[in-house]
Amino acid sequence: MRILLTGRTGQVGYELERSLQGLGEIVTLDRAQMDLADLDSVREAIRNVRPHLIVNPAAYTAVDKAESEAELALRINGEAPAVMAEEASKLGAAMIHFSTDYVFDGRKSGAYSEEDPTCPINVYGRSKLAGEQAIQASGIPHLIFRTSWVYGMRGKNFLLTVRRLAEERDELRIVVDQHGTPTWCRTISDATAHVVAFLGAGKRLVGLDQDLWREKSGLYHLAAQGQTTWHGFAQTIVAHWSVNRKPVVTPIATQEYPLPARRPVNSVLSCERFVNTFCGLPDWRGALRLCME
């Protein structure tokens, strides 16, 4: 089974390249080999590789910058996945695609399920929702995994930003009124590899078990368990970071730290469907400790 993996240098793509080993022939592509902003490049890469499965963690993830680059964000997050799905349909291939908690407006008081209506309040969320809808409309066997607050030990993310600022400042002022779940990129990659194995990869199959893939196709929330705020996330990072100097982490309201893109007040995801269908997921605190260690 040939698996095309996009975004090999990104947080999730980097981990997926490790997690997917042994489940098929892994063909990894970076931006130079398949530029999602160039739809012809996407088509050409897929036609050259001829995969049985496309795994697409690549995305435009600059949430604030997207407000001024809406066309580019939509092309990468919405139109490129549509092209991938179109090419997958021609090949009889399946697709795993990663989306975001920011497809919700944050007005719900509890955790969001896959059945809850979407209503993104920023350009990034709208562009990711467009990608979801295009894949769903294509009719191919697919899994769309919505995740949240992704972090890791490489790239740009909240964990690394807090650690850097903690070395420079005596006080960190962090938003306390936005709720979500920090999710280690390795949690995402390992859970995805489990799903791919469950659906038949690594079992000397040529191609896909189409019936099983279609049975499990659909939208799933894939994030760590539990919930916190950005302030709680930062406090936990500082508490578990083995340094002598620890700054004070002061809670502030969203309006005290204005950004170009609005964020949902609550974007906690219910992962019950994923857990009941595939495998368990770790608590965010335990995963964060493992990551930092």
Catalytic residues: 124
**Tally of helices (H runs) and strands (E runs) in the chain:** 11, 12
Q: What are φ and ψ of residue 258, in 5° steps? A: -70, 140
Task: Output DSSP code: residue 215.
Answer: H
What string of H, E and C letters represents the secondary structure of 221-258? ECCCECCEEHHHHHHHHHHHCCCCCCCEEEEECHHHCC
DSSP 74-88: HIIIIIHHHHHHHHH
Q: How far apart are CA 237 and CA 173, in angstroms?
A: 14
Q: What is the dihedral of CA 163, 166, 172, 175, to 10 degrees?
A: 0
What string of H, E and C letters represents the secondary structure of 159-198? HHHHHHHHHHCCEEEEECCCEECCEEHHHHHHHHHHHHHH
Q: How far apart are CA 73 and CA 64, in angstroms?
A: 11
